[in-house]
Homo-oligomer: A and B are copies of this chain.
């Protein structure tokens, strides 16, 4: 067989040759939407490659992005790695200290920064050690006033650049293409490097009929930020398949997302559960025509069953729960249906949708506890390990690599069971698991159950140290507006759980909070909760 390497540059060529008139629909501000055909986008992408090469970008140069989801970011997604350079998608929501760390640690030499994020970025500049050039991604040909040097307008650079660039066709497919950093429980974020090969294979996976089934006829709306694990790989796959993509830009709201879905006839969208909760609320108050939607992909944290039910039952939109992490490109699994599931009752189907689902073809998983691999029985918990060609093999220049990467597997730090039909079910993070009397209690299972109670808005369950049992669960609950946070409610919630779990799983107490502390990507910060509630005395 031909030794044709798997390279992202081939996607540009494909989109341009086969789908020249398909659109990248890009919102760059509250009142600006660009509609750019792939023919034009491909030219702009090559112009960007030329412009950055002129600024000194070479094979292996790290180019950072600091921006929202829009066409320029998509141009960088391809225009940087296709040359052999490496795209570092910086998570704009990190703390200034962590931002400086990741940019310095990656040794980014060029930064592409959104105009509306430049004031924020400007403050970081004194901390940055390797950045030589700053390119402002915006609609203006001018640069904002600044004391920083070597600041350019993206559009001005493109205006001067040639739209021809011969991307190397003999690049090794294992060449690094992209980087993202993932936040760690303690210490600085950890870097993950994506190769061309990994991203190409991941794109194939997104197109499989048994996965997202992304295709030319789709109109995708990645709500998940492009600085967050490659926007789950959707922008790459969309260029590969000639799919229309709607990039929602900065400051989007549930209203805006619903408007975009209705107007652009979006078929597939992806993001974290908090987005869907907010969108659902808005849709109930002010309904739009969502009939074009054939699927929502939800991941990043647990999707409450009530949310899944609302989309599936009320709105008739299939709601897929996915699982993945920065280290996995990210798609590991998706709660698609296999044979016969379509015929199940709505309740049974929602139970399946709430699982993390079927493992992608090409990946392998195992679940291990101290005795080795556990059986796929839907109840024996262990840590999930993954391997495959789009799974990272290390953290970039980081001695925390050995904690997670062992014997050729990535140990995810997630506690899971595999059901008897081979579907993944996440039970907890290793560090959030509650160890009571030598047994394991899944905080996530309890939270999910609590969040099906009609009065509960959000719930987190954490471990509280216990003299006799080692640890015991404590439920932290945010009630819906207007619900009384009293002892009667406590008793009601615990009784509600009592019917669903073994006695010893039921929390010893409930505390009512105004909100659950969350990370920048909307995940519960249980470490913070544990810290806040350290001395909590149990007792209902």
B193, B204, B207, B422: the one contacting A17 at CB < 8 Å is B422
Q: Is the CB of A1 within 8 A of B392?
A: yes
CA A216 to CA B242, docked complex, whole Å: 25
Q: Is the CB of B195 within 8 A of A1?
A: yes
CA A2 to CA B359, docked complex, whole Å: 17
Q: Is the CB of B207 within 8 A of A241?
A: no
Contact residues of A between 184 and 199, Cβ < 8 Å to B: 193-195, 197-198
Beyond A204-B204, A209-B209, A364-B10, whether A2 also contacts B339 by CB under 8 A is: no
Main DSSP-derived SS at the A contact region: loop
Q: Is the CB of B208 within 8 A of A13?
A: no
- A254 close to chain B: CB less than 8 A: no
Beyond A359-B18, A361-B240, A389-B6, whether A216 also contacts B338 by CB under 8 A is: yes
CA A197 to CA B2, docked complex, whole Å: 10
Q: Tell me the nearest residue of chain B to A408, going by C-beta.
A: B2
Chain B residue numbers with a CB within 8 Å of A422 are 17-19
Chain B residue numbers with a CB within 8 Å of A393 are 1-3
- A472 close to chain B: CB less than 8 A: no
Beyond A338-B216, A422-B17, A422-B18, whether A361 also contacts B207 by CB under 8 A is: yes
CA A204 to CA B362, docked complex, whole Å: 9
- A388 close to chain B: CB less than 8 A: yes
Q: Is the CB of B18 within 8 A of A358?
A: yes
- Max chain B C-beta neighbours (<10 A), residue from A13, A213, A214: A213
CB distance from A209 to the nearest CB of B (A): 4
Beyond A1-B389, A2-B388, whether A215 also contacts B207 by CB under 8 A is: no
CA A389 to CA B201, docked complex, whole Å: 12
Q: Which chain A residues have a beta carbon within 8 Å of chain B's beta carbons?
A: 1-4, 6, 10, 13-14, 17-19, 22, 174, 193-195, 197-198, 200-201, 204-205, 207-210, 213-217, 240-242, 329, 337-339, 358-359, 361-362, 364, 376, 387-393, 408, 410, 422
Top 10 nearest A-B pairs (CB, nearest first) are A209-B213, A1-B198, A18-B422, A209-B215, A204-B204, A210-B215, A207-B208, A1-B195, A2-B393, A216-B338
Q: Told that A1-B198, A204-B204, A210-B215 touch, could you supply 16 new A-B pairs with CB distance under 8 A?
A: A2-B393, A2-B410, A3-B389, A10-B364, A14-B361, A18-B358, A19-B422, A200-B362, A204-B362, A207-B207, A207-B208, A207-B210, A207-B361, A209-B214, A210-B241, A217-B339
Q: Give 26 A-B contacts (CB < 8 Å), ordered by A residue.
A: A1-B193, A1-B198, A1-B389, A2-B388, A2-B391, A2-B392, A2-B408, A4-B387, A4-B388, A4-B391, A6-B389, A10-B362, A14-B361, A17-B422, A18-B358, A19-B422, A204-B208, A207-B209, A208-B209, A210-B215, A210-B216, A213-B213, A217-B337, A217-B339, A240-B361, A242-B338
